[in-house]
Structure 1
Amino acid sequence: MKLKLEKHWTAGEKSVQRFNTAFLRDTNKLSQIKITIDNRKKKKTAINNSRTRAEKVKAQAEYTEANKKVKGIRIDKQNYVEELATTAEKAAREGNMEQLYDTTKKLAGRYSKPERPVKDKEGTWNVRTMWDTGRAFQIAAEMRRYNLEVLWISETHWTQAGQQRLTSGELLLYSGHEEENATHTQGVALILSKQAQNALIGWESHGPRIIKASFKTKKEDITMNIIQCYAPTNDYNEDAKDQFYNRLQSIVEKCPTKDLTILMGDFNAKVGKDNTGYEDIMGRHGLGERNESGERFANLCAFNKLVIGGTIFPHKRIHKTTWTSPDHTTQNQIDHICINKTFRRTIKDVRTKRGADIASDHHLLVAKMKLKLKKHWTTGWTISQKFNTTFLQDTNKLNKFKLALSNKFQAFHDILNGEGTTVESNWKGIKEAITSTCHEVLGQKKHHHKEWTTVDTLDKIQERRNKKAAINTSRTRAEKAKAQAEYTVVNKQVKKSIRTDKRKYVEDLATTVEKAARAGNMRQLYDITKKLSGNRRKPERLVKSKEGEVTTKIEEQRNRWVEHFKELLNRPAPLNPPNIEAAPTDLPINVGPPTIEEISMAIRQIKSGKVAGPDNIPAEALKADTKSQLYGSLWNNQLNGIHHSTSTSLTTKRHLIAWTEQHYGNFFDTTACLKR
């Protein structure tokens, strides 16, 4: 029998061969088989070491016998499989599903998958511009197509610094010229996948040429610092180059040596394939000859012990070139991904992906990382669930919701009057009743991020991608020139089609706005007007510590806000309080508990369409059943303890707490609320 061997990947990349058959495990014949195979190996060695013809003939005969015994294992395996099949049939007839499952698993012949390490992929790309209509959508699509965790971008042509949420769910962080009316040149950015957003610690904007971000990794004590750059070209004067590299040096040296530091981007620097004098930070797999910018870049890497990844992995020339000249005759390696020498083994490969297309003269450069981002890292910040409250506008759904909520409230009403209950436990019961009813009847609201690009435009983008593939596979100069001309034509069609789609999208929104205005639907009117404004980018606002230093980490920024409001809302009493004269007569104010009608009126006055708090109870759910006796019972039974509750509940609704605040003050901790 010919045994199938399987590689099992380990963290050290050593392949360990294991017999992966249920036959060997179930019959305990592994030692027997090893002896048989070892015996055949010995006979083979005896043949090779034979000195005379007689010895060789004898050894050959013994080897033939040993080989027959090894092949006899196949017969045992066939008998074993037949026995398993019979057992599986019997288990199926008897309805013994557990035995049927186990036997079927043995018949499959595999007990576990090999643990192949899943590598994170980071990419850097000079896209020429993101200022054109539809560019962000196309770049995000290519990012998903190549399964990148983070994509770093050069030449965005966006101004100022900030962040924007793309319709497909990715987060875009960008940095450009600080002036509001600056020209749309240079600019750097990064796009985070949904998983990478959970690992983001913080990010820093350093002008139109440098941006930095930090991420949590699987290793608790290691932070990944990535710096994206867009260096000046050779046409710039020496002062501009010195200013860029001095600023870059100041940023790199602030990264702790114990952390993983990655430097990447378009450096407009050719480092060449000669690594003489730079053996510690370069390999011999670069391209061309080193130029002046390459000398600067290599010196920076040598000083900071950064290994240039594109020079240490052997690849074809086409997988090393990152830039093509406008005449399509010259190709160079000017985009780079570097990593500090301590973590040299963390980077597994660096190469270009020529299939990625955005109508740029640069290729997408991708690095495979062994150290993965910590994708499920959270800071305790919970995201509220949104229920589909629009269903409550339907009479049938509303009645169903009322009935379900009434039944749960009726069951809870008996518990409310029991002994040993606290206001906190009772409130949790009410909250659970309302939220569970929302889950059952309404369900969660699904966000449909509708792209305004049409199928026709997507087809043209795919056609352009095919034309680029034709350019990459051209064998002669004539074929390449023809493919390039066709690519230019299709690219113009893509731009025209995107502009047409955008115009139609805006016209449809304007029509919807008019209908919403005539119908008096102010919420829809506001939302669509916000879309029509087109400015969804949020400029970055710096958060400073008490000492005036800028804080870039998200957790530190949150703690600073908590500290600020704690000081703001908890001022000490004045030393000389004002002497306010008492009123001559008491005002006729009813200080008794509110009636059910008053509570119902307060609930009805809450504005609909507002985001729920941490309790996840929308205002529409409260309005659906305002006549419930449960609120009044809770108020009458346990009013004395309600102000001790730190949970946001019905009492946090603005109109409902108005009466209570006059007598009991603010009964939830603002600082605790901010932390939540």
Structure 2
Amino acid sequence: MERRKVDILCVQETRWKVSKAHSIGAGFKLFYYGVDSKRNGVGVVLKEEFVRNVLEVKRVSDRVMSLKLEIEGVMLNVVSGYAPQVGCELEEKERFWSELDEVMESIPMGERVVIGADFNGHVGEENTGDEEVMGKFGVKERNLEGQMVVDFAKRMDMAVINTYFQKREEHRVTYKSGGRRTQKLRQALGGQLVLPDDWETTVEVIRETGRKVLGVSSGRRKEDKETWWWNEEVQDSIQRKRLAKKKWDMDRTEENRQEYKKSQRRVKREVSKAKQKAYDELYTRLDTRE
């Protein structure tokens, strides 16, 4: 982390037992979770200067954990994940994705998310039909585990960032012995990049990835959406509306359209109720509407 000037690092397969946070020297602090010293375990390492910015730590399981930080007014959620290997039972794989879904659904709209994970799969080199979530520089052919990554990215409106640029062969191989080579998917969803050594190339990669994934803005600044009065009901209804919108975008049936419209009306009702409740409580504390 010192050599590469990394401030936040997600680690997997740590095999560290119990739940702790402690300094590990050189100005870094480790947050981790594990239940068995022989398998699994996930963690997040932070530069000490950002530790005071940590608002919440969620240790979901020995395969999924997340940290919420506030940095210069921006809410950043960092999720560390370790997907079951190819040979594991389907039930274990489904449990991992269910846990990851729950973490994502608990994050309010407007907050930024980066997932640094070992997904143990191949999204493949072919991206036809999946251009909105991945580029053409994946690895080998897509397998079941890779398809799960692509499906998750679509559900959450994210992108597999390091498939948008080409990597050198030595950066694509994760294990080599004799004439055998293994290429395993260690991807980042949202915003983490595996960067080339050359700075000019790095800058162009970031710009091009930003254009492809985020688009180009008009340049006019938008006012931040007022969200201080949001509650769980509002967040839940907004998440349901997002899922309904994605379903409508993927399959434009009348049933899906009606469900999306229904979810929009539900959000309006919940927003109105939450606003009124929040202002009533504010007026009570102030003893006057004026």
Same fold (TM over 0.5): yes
What range describes the TM-score normalised by the shorter chain of this pair?
0.5 to 0.7
CA contact (8 A) 2:114 2:192 kept: no
Are 2:54 and 1:200 aligned? yes
CA contact (8 A) 2:161 2:192 kept: no
- Structure 1 runs not aligned, ≥5 long: 1-142, 340-346, 354-366, 371-676
Are 2:133 and 1:281 aligned? yes
Find the counterpart in structure 1 of residue 4 from structure 2: 146
Aligned-residue offset at 1:314? 3.0
CA contact (8 A) 1:165 1:171 kept: yes
Aligned-residue offset at 1:170? 1.4
More strand by share: 2
Find the counterpart in structure 2 of residue 623 from structure 1: none
Find the counterpart in structure 1 of residue 183 from structure 2: 332
Aligned-residue offset at 1:147? 0.9
4+ aligned runs moved over 3 Å, structure 1: 325-328, 367-370
Q: Secondary structure at the match of 2:132?
A: coil
Distance 1:326 1:189, change over 3 A: farther
Are 2:38 and 1:184 aligned? yes
Distance 1:231 1:297 in 2: 10
TM-score by length of 2: 0.64
Per-residue CA deviations over 1:448-506 (Å, capped at 9, x if unaligned) read xxxxxxxxxxxxxxxxxxxxxxxxxxxxxxxxxxxxxxxxxxxxxxxxxxxxxxxxxxx
Are 2:68 and 1:211 aligned? no
Find the counterpart in structure 2 of residue 294 from structure 1: 146
CA contact (8 A) 1:322 1:334 kept: no
Distance 1:261 1:241, change over 3 A: same
Q: Secondary structure at the match of 2:65?
A: strand
Are 2:102 and 1:243 aligned? no
Q: Secondary structure at the match of 2:95?
A: helix
Distance 1:237 1:325, change over 3 A: farther
Aligned pairs (5 A) from 1:405-420:
none
Distance 1:348 1:246 in 2: 22
Distance 1:298 1:352, change over 3 A: farther
Aligned-residue offset at 1:161? 0.9
* Matching residue's letter, 1:276: T
Aligned pairs (5 A) from 1:574-589:
none
Q: Secondary structure at the match of 2:88?
A: coil
Distance 1:299 1:348, change over 3 A: closer
Distance 2:114 2:38 in 1: 27
* Matching residue's letter, 1:350: V
Per-residue CA deviations over 1:156-207 (Å, capped at 9, x if unaligned) read 1111111111233311111111xxxx44311011111122223322211111
Distance 1:153 1:352, change over 3 A: farther
Distance 2:173 2:100 in 1: 22
Alignment root-mean-square deviation, CA: 2.6
CA contact (8 A) 1:313 1:349 kept: no
Q: Secondary structure at the match of 1:156?
A: coil
CA contact (8 A) 2:123 2:143 kept: yes
Aligned pairs (5 A) from 1:28-107:
none
* Matching residue's letter, 1:211: M
Per-residue CA deviations over 1:325-346 (Å, capped at 9, x if unaligned) read 555621314100110xxxxxxx
Are 2:108 and 1:256 aligned? yes
Distance 1:262 1:285 in 2: 20
Higher Rg = 1
Q: Secondary structure at the match of 1:307?
A: coil
Distance 2:77 2:153 in 1: 16
TM-score by length of 1: 0.28
Are 2:11 and 1:159 aligned? no
Aligned-residue offset at 1:264? 1.6
Distance 1:260 1:328 in 2: 42
Q: Secondary structure at the match of 1:191?
A: strand
Distance 2:192 2:31 in 1: 26
Aligned-residue offset at 1:235? 0.7
Aligned pairs (5 A) from 1:128-527:
143-177=1-35, 182-218=36-72, 220=73, 222-319=74-171, 321=172, 323-325=174-176, 329-339=180-190, 347=191, 349-351=193-195
Find the counterpart in structure 1 of residue 225 from structure 2: none
Distance 1:226 1:327, change over 3 A: farther
More helix by share: 1
Distance 1:165 1:242 in 2: 34
